[in-house]
Amino acid sequence: MNLYPTDHASLSLEEVYCSIRDNGFSEYTLQLIDSYTNYILNGKTNLTQFNQQEHAGLCLAGEMLIGAYIVCNYARASLEAGRNAAAGEVGPANWKIDETQEKMVKQWAEAKQCWFAEAEQTIEAEYGPMIAQGAESKVYYKEGDTSVIKVRTSIYATLGRALESIVLHNSLFPETQMNIIGYTRDADGLFRTILTQPYIGCQRLATKAEIDEMVAKKGFTDNRDGNGVNYIGQRLYLEDMHPANVFVDVISDTPICIDCIVKFI
């Protein structure tokens, strides 16, 4: 007998949440999360917070992000449901949401076998040395490969928001799509997302004028905060668009965004 739903009509997100609550990350719950993830990937359902273009970015990020994002949304919903609204309690603080999301995603990733306890050593041995490090990511690359590996920490209020930023990056910049392959904690105990991204040959760093023109075509204008690297659109903020994050590609001779901060308004 098949215990797992196989079509869209037989599974709702609420059923997935109920199984997480009642069964933890059992084999059955993992199957439900996988089934719902496949509905999203196959276009049978969507997550209401994303528009059509953003859903394309979600799918580009892969099943390891979608599953973790479902778990993050459950963690937030369970905290919000547990507050005493009648007593005037406000929503849970971001630190509490982040703490709960990290704990639950780690449990899911361990059950899913996409949690890597010593990822950085393994990555360097398999994918090459670290070639760059910034506030958000450590970047590993082996000469001749078509992709880099990034071990990315969160500079966002919660893990769920950090995962959203990857979705939104992919929707805006599919040429440098981020695809999640796992999760870990680094030597400092920071929760990190492991992802692949196409290797871009850097002819030179983009100029401010080139970046302005690139983001204008995507509906963004300088937010005039005096920094010159932050932009605003109708739906999103686009920040940290400085030249070190925007390369002029060797092949296309056009500016390409490697990394940035992107979030909902």
**Residue pLDDT, tens place only, 19-48:** 999 999 999 999 999 999 999 999 999 999
Q: Percent of the chain having pLDDT more than 70?
A: 94
Judge whether 209 lies within some domain.
yes
**Residue pLDDT, tens place only, 52-99:** 999 999 999 999 999 999 999 999 999 999 876 555 667 899 999 999
Judge whether 2 lies within some domain.
no
CA end-to-end span of the chain, whole Å? Answer: 47
In this prediction the pTM is 0.91
Same domain, 20 and 106: yes
Same domain, 214 and 244: yes
Residue 171: CATH number of its domain: 3.30.200.20
Same domain, 144 and 68: no
Half-sphere exposure of 160 (CA within 13 A, CB side): 20
Query: 233 φ, ψ to 5°?
Result: -120, -165
pLDDT at 86: 52
Domain limits at 66?
A: 8-112
**Residue that terminates a domain, selected from 62, 86, 112:** 112
Kindly state the tokens that stand for 224.
């005039």
Judge whether 3 lies within some domain.
no
Query: 45 φ, ψ to 5°?
Result: -155, 175
